[in-house]
Structure 1
Amino acid sequence: MGRRLAHAVHADWLTHKCQVLHITHRKSPVKSPYNIHGHQLEEVEAAKNIYQCPKEIKVLCYNTLVRPIMEYGGIIWGPSTAHNINRLEMVQRRAARFIMGDYHTTSSVTTMMEQLGWRTLQERRAQAKAVMMFRIVNQLVDIPHTYLTPARVSVRGHSQRFTVPHTRTTTYRHSFFPDSIRIWNALPQDAISCNTLESFKASLQPLHLR
């Protein structure tokens, strides 16, 4: 009985807290009703700002609405100049201040990001490149691994190193294969030896690639 009552209270809370906001360029949009637990949600013309929301909601909004835009195609089109790298990082740092509600000039944004468990976007792009390399090497993605040339035998590094393509321009140097191969070659042997993608991702967590 208690569980049913809790479920009913939760459903009632969702019905009153959730609203439908249609965002479209159409002059006559086709509107459909939305329901939660059999209750139709109210349609509104505007929504409240998330400033007063709990920290968890702010984090969810950032991870859902902001970060994917900044990371879209990041392993291919990620910035290489310090200026552009910093421009992206500032977006995340401002988000950290907003989420933590701390705008004091003496406060450390780096500490805020550590409290949130956030890595820099540059580090996240490097890890994404390492993951894509693992997919290519292990034929988990439709990119021929024949594009990769095994490096000469060396006492330094792990056993699956590849030759970094010769580059004459900065643009090519920071493109996917030259940059990703450098990241891959610098990984420890235990990461390279992982049998699954999940275990490989886990092995990257304690590492700092950039």
Structure 2
Amino acid sequence: MTTDSLTNPLTSSQIIQSDLLTAQNWTSTWLMPLNNKKCVVFRLGKDNPNIPYTLDNHVLQPVNQIKDLGVLLDNNLSFSEHVNLVVKKANTVKYLIQKAFVSPTEELSKTLLVSYIRPILEYASVIWSPSLIGNKELLEKVQRRYLKTVQTLKDKPYDVRLSLLKLPSLEKRRIINDLVCTYNILTHQFGIDLSNIFELSAASHLRGHSMKLHHQKYKTRWRQNFLSNRVFNVWNSLDSDLIESSSTASFKNKLYNHQTDL
């Protein structure tokens, strides 16, 4: 457990410490005491005051990275360590596939990629979608090298291989995943209200679709790569026909049909 496992956005150290005490009392009451040796503090921000927190009179140790629901977060929010981790996992699966299938057909190669390799590289990408060019290239290299092992495609350029197999690049798929998530948030598909992540443009009625976003100001690289800023230009450029889709499935299908315009 981390202190941030409580998903408390407040920065007041007194409130956080009070919440830790509440959690401690609740778990003790229900005979599920927390193992304070496994509880840590994960801090963000260069101006973080580094205030110590305690749980059951035990000072929680600070850490530079944590894994939450399969996503490795570092205190720089670069997600470089997470990218390295998923690339390593995907390459391991790629190696096993190559050992198991000596000369698969194009169709089988595509199926194996989509079923076993790509999900590793895309899990929760809306959270960690890379901003660094080096990280983007590391991810794309996995798919590029895998498709090069297909005998009928090995001498063709990467973009030609993608075209012949009707596959988008991983970067384009991350853009589409961002757009689908944005659509789901703004149309309240998640069952909880997350609309405060975005700010709708007051001038959206003048031209374009009715759900255009207002560009949010940022002072840090972290905020610059946050979903609301990352998706801003592409989302606002979408046609009304896409935005007015009747369902998430319809919106996603239309996006893939228009992917060359993204």
User: TM-score, normalised to structure 2's length?
Assistant: 0.56
Describe the SS at the equivalent of 2:182. Answer: helix
Indicate if the aligned counterparts of 1:59 and 1:99 stay in contact, CA closer than 8 A: no
Structure 2 unaligned residues grouped into runs of 5+: 1-97
**Structure 2 residue aligned with 1:146:** 196
Q: Which of residues 220, 231, 239 is equivalent to 1:188?
A: 239
Q: State yes or no: 1:90 paired with 2:90.
A: no
Indicate if the aligned counterparts of 1:58 and 1:99 stay in contact, CA closer than 8 A: yes
User: 2:228 & 2:200 partners in 1: Cα distance?
Assistant: 13
Indicate if the aligned counterparts of 1:100 and 1:112 stay in contact, CA closer than 8 A: no
Alignment length, in residue pairs?
A: 162
Greater shift in the superposed pair: 197-206 or 175-184: 175-184
Indicate if the aligned counterparts of 1:157 and 1:186 stay in contact, CA closer than 8 A: yes
CA 209–168 in structure 1, closer or farther in 2 if over 3 Å, else same = farther
User: 1:146 & 1:124 partners in 2: Cα distance?
Assistant: 25
Higher relative contact order structure (alpha carbons within 8 Å, sequence separation ≥ 6): 1
Task: Report deviation, 1:140.
Answer: 0.5
Task: Report deviation, 1:58.
Answer: 2.2
- What are the superposed Cα offsets for residues 124-164 of structure 1, whole Å, 9 maximum, x if unpaired? 00111111111111111134223332212153432211212
Greater shift in the superposed pair: 119-128 or 184-193: 184-193
User: 1:62 & 1:108 partners in 2: Cα distance?
Assistant: 18
Q: Which of residues 125, 129, 153 is equivalent to 2:174?
A: 125
User: 2:157 & 2:255 partners in 1: Cα distance?
Assistant: 26
User: 2:162 & 2:259 partners in 1: Cα distance?
Assistant: 17
CA 112–147 in structure 1, closer or farther in 2 if over 3 Å, else same = closer
- What are the superposed Cα offsets for residues 148-205 of structure 1, whole Å, 9 maximum, x if unpaired? 3221215343221121221112221112222134332221111111121122112212
Name which one, 1 or 2, has greater alpha-carbon Rg: 1
**Structure 1 residue aligned with 2:259:** 207
CA 102–201 in structure 1, closer or farther in 2 if over 3 Å, else same = closer
Indicate if the aligned counterparts of 1:126 and 1:209 stay in contact, CA closer than 8 A: no
Amino acid at match of 1:109: Y
User: TM-score, normalised to structure 1's length?
Assistant: 0.69
Structure 1 unaligned residues grouped into runs of 5+: 1-46
Superposed CA RMSD: 2.1
- What are the superposed Cα offsets for residues 62-94 of structure 1, whole Å, 9 maximum, x if unpaired? 212211111111111011122211121111111
